[in-house]
Amino acid sequence: MILDEALKGQLAQYLEMLENDIEIKVSTGDDETSKNVMELVETLSSMSPKIKVEETKLERTPSFSVNRQNEDTGIVFAGVPLGQEFTSLILALLQVSGRAPKIDEDLAEKVKNLDEELNFETYISLSCQVCPEVVQALNIMSVLNPKISHTMIDGAVFKDEVDKMNIRAVPSAYLNGEPFGDGWMTVEEILAKLIGGPDASEFADKEPFDMLVVGGGPGGASAAVYGARKGIRTGVVAERFGGQILDTATIENFIGTKQTEGPQLANQLEEHVKDYDVDIMNLQKATSLARKDNLIEVGLENGATLKSKSVVIATGARWRNVNVPGEKEFRNNGVAYCPHCDGPLFEGKRVAVIGGGNSGVEAAIDLAAITEHVTVLEFSDSMKADSVLLDRLHSLKNVTPIVNAQTTEITGTDTVNGLSYIDRETDKEEHIELDGVFVQIGLVPNTDWLEGSVDRNKFGEIIIDKHGATNVPGVYAAGDCTDIPYNQIITSMGAGSLASLSASDYLVRHTESSEDKREKELVEK
């Protein structure tokens, strides 16, 4: 049975919410996945009188499209949208039936106004936690605009296609046959790619903020909520609202919530911040910070300057690169950073993990279950992971740990075919033949933009005191971009609230009250 009783139960509740009739057009063959696709659509139809199924021939087999009565929407699922994509299927059914998608009105209007044929295709894996966000965003766009179509393609089913196109990371979106974008993308981000983001003029009229938060991860979101709850004028400027949790699979240590998924938590953070009167400026990168008179000026990549009486920096961290030839060239073409997302694309293949710390060894253990073989390369003379992880690693027959290995190059032609390293004990160069490399050597703080303005330590982390204060008056910092010893969601949130409270306290002490001002004016007169 393709759907177990629990899934059927969930589905039944949603199918009752269908507003209008839906036509599913299905294209199947004799293979096992085709049987599953057929069973899935027949189950859907048996559970709701509003769903009709028609056999047809679509561009890919097996696949099926979800349409309004007598009107194709362009939404196609190639493969079986279960696993992480089950929600995408349910949402597509509801939205095609007429239920309004959850999207800001002005964004929806921008999507409706797109006036060209846009044929999107997204390669996904059913275990990828980030993929549904992209699938759902593009499906919403297809629902809203008849000129837009979108096909979700399960890379594990269409392996030949994935191999031919050298796709080694998901989600991987294509527009009209050309690469469009990799990784997490919201409707807002897709629109920014299609028609550009706001230019500096849209920021020109903004009055100075009381508190400007730079960064929209757990630390920034927490700082913004605390700021807004003080009733002060709060803004958040973020390159990508959500931060690292957008790349995080299951989270089991967010106390009070036994288990959640990164993208889900990111949505909850955004909803929570939006509950308050906070000016969220998403998809905007801060490039400079300077204190001028009594205000702090934050420059943005688009040329705009935001002014604020206080600033909380929570710009987090990003994957550390190994910085060898081939890493940049083969990124997403065999070089990957997210084993949860991209592991399934290396099924039955040979891969390496660079890094023998906890994240590297965890990645190797996960990958060993999917791939033919995993080599773990550690620069120092011993693996750095916890012993419980190392015991597990050593028990796996298809894993080779190598210590004293300095990676010198990731080799390949169209895609990765190997890795060269120097054995630091013998000084000899070695080469291993591989199909993929996962880089797991930690994180680097996103603080380059503060060069010369805020004090940082030798790792680039912002130096803060116990109040979250930096060396610049009125500028506070929180989370992974700072020199706190542990980088976690909950520690970043705690630090965000601390920095925000300290910034509010700073405002109380340093902002002139209107009475003070009047007194000063009188004296000046």
Ligand X SMILES: Cc1cc2nc3c(=O)[nH]c(=O)nc-3n(C[C@H](O)[C@H](O)[C@H](O)COP(=O)(O)OP(=O)(O)OC[C@H]3O[C@@H](n4cnc5c(N)ncnc54)[C@H](O)[C@@H]3O)c2cc1C
**By C-beta, is 122 or 446 nearer to ligand X?**
446
Interface residue with ligand X among 154, 247, 378, 461 (CB under 6 A) is 247
Nearest-CB residue for ligand X: 316
Q: Residue 414 is encoded by which pair of tokens?
A: 């169209």
The answer, yes or no, to whether the previous bond of 62 is cis (omega within 30 of 0) is yes
Q: In whole angstroms, what is the distance from residue 221 CA to residue 218 CA? A: 5
Q: Which residue has the tokens 């508190």?
A: 211
Interatomic CA distance for residues 102 and 95, integer angstroms: 10
- 266 membership: H or E segment, kind and range: helix 262-274
Least distance in Å: CB of 254 to ligand X? 6
Rule CB under 6 A: is residue 498 a binding residue for ligand X? no
- Residue 53, beta-bridge partner list: 24
Nearer to ligand X, 18 or 130 (CB): 130
Applying CB under 6 A, which of residues 97, 332, 371, 446 lies at the interface with ligand X?
446
Q: Does residue number 218 form part of the binding site for ligand X (CB under 6 A)?
A: yes
Least Cβ distance, residue 360 to ligand X (angstroms): 12
Q: Which is nearer to ligand X, 93 or 389 (CB)?
A: 389
Instruction: Name which position in 28, 34, 48, 244 contacts ligand X (CB under 6 A).
Output: 244
The set of residues, in sequence order, having a beta carbon less than 8 Å from that of 493 and lying 6+ positions away, is 218, 219, 221, 222
> Does 453 participate in binding ligand X (rule CB under 6 A)?
no
* Contact (CB, 8 A) for 507 and 310: yes
Applying CB under 6 A, does 308 fall inside the site for ligand X? no
Please identify, among the stretches 80-88, 148-156, 216-224, 268-276, the one whose residues bind ligand X according to the rule CB under 6 A: 216-224
Minimum CB distance to ligand X, residue 302 (Å): 11
Rounded CA separation 284/220 (Å): 14
In b/e form, how buried is each residue of 440-454, taking b as 16+ CB within 10 angstroms? bbeebbbbebbeebb
Q: Which is nearer to ligand X, 132 or 218 (CB)?
A: 218
What DSSP element (H or E) covers 46? helix 32-47
**133 or 247: CB nearest ligand X:** 247
Question: Residue 94 and residue 204: Cα distance in Å, rounded?
Answer: 40
Residue of 148, 173, 286, 437 interacting with ligand X (CB under 6 A) = 286
Whole-angstrom distance, CA of residue 486 vs CA of residue 215: 18
209 binds ligand X (CB under 6 A): no
Contact 125, 154 (CB under 8 A): yes
CA-CA distance, 160 to 166, in Å (whole number)? 10
Pick the closer one to ligand X by CB: 80 or 341. 341
Residue whose CB is less far from ligand X, 247 or 461: 247
Amino acid occupying residue 291: R
Smallest distance from ligand X to CB 97, Å: 34
Quickly list H helices, 318-422: 339-342, 358-368, 387-394
Nearest approach in angstroms of CB 251 to ligand X is: 4
How many Cα atoms occupy the beta-carbon half-sphere of 491 within 13 Å? 11
Query: Which span (27-35, 188-196, 242-250, 458-466) binds ligand X, by CB under 6 A?
Result: 242-250
Binding residue (CB under 6 A) for ligand X from 147, 285, 349, 392: 285
Q: Is 357 a residue that touches ligand X (CB under 6 A)?
A: no
Nearer to ligand X, 62 or 339 (CB): 339
Do 181 and 131 form a contact (C-beta atoms < 8 A)?
A: no
- The answer to whether 456 contacts ligand X (rule: CB under 6 A) is no
By CB under 6 A, residue 445 contacts ligand X:
no
Q: Which stretch binds ligand X (CB under 6 A): 34-42, 188-196, 232-240, 431-439?
A: 232-240
Given the complex with ligand X, which of 286 and 432 has the nearer CB atom?
A: 286
Residue 183 touching ligand X (CB under 6 A): no
Contacts with 216 (C-beta within 8 Å, 6 or more apart), sequence order: 236, 238, 239, 240, 241, 242, 243, 269, 270, 273, 280, 282
Site string for ligand X, 313-342 (x = CB under 6 A): -xxxx-------------------------
Which residues contribute to the site for ligand X (CB under 6 A)?
214-220, 237-241, 243-245, 247-248, 251, 253, 285-286, 314-317, 446, 449, 479-480, 487-490, 492
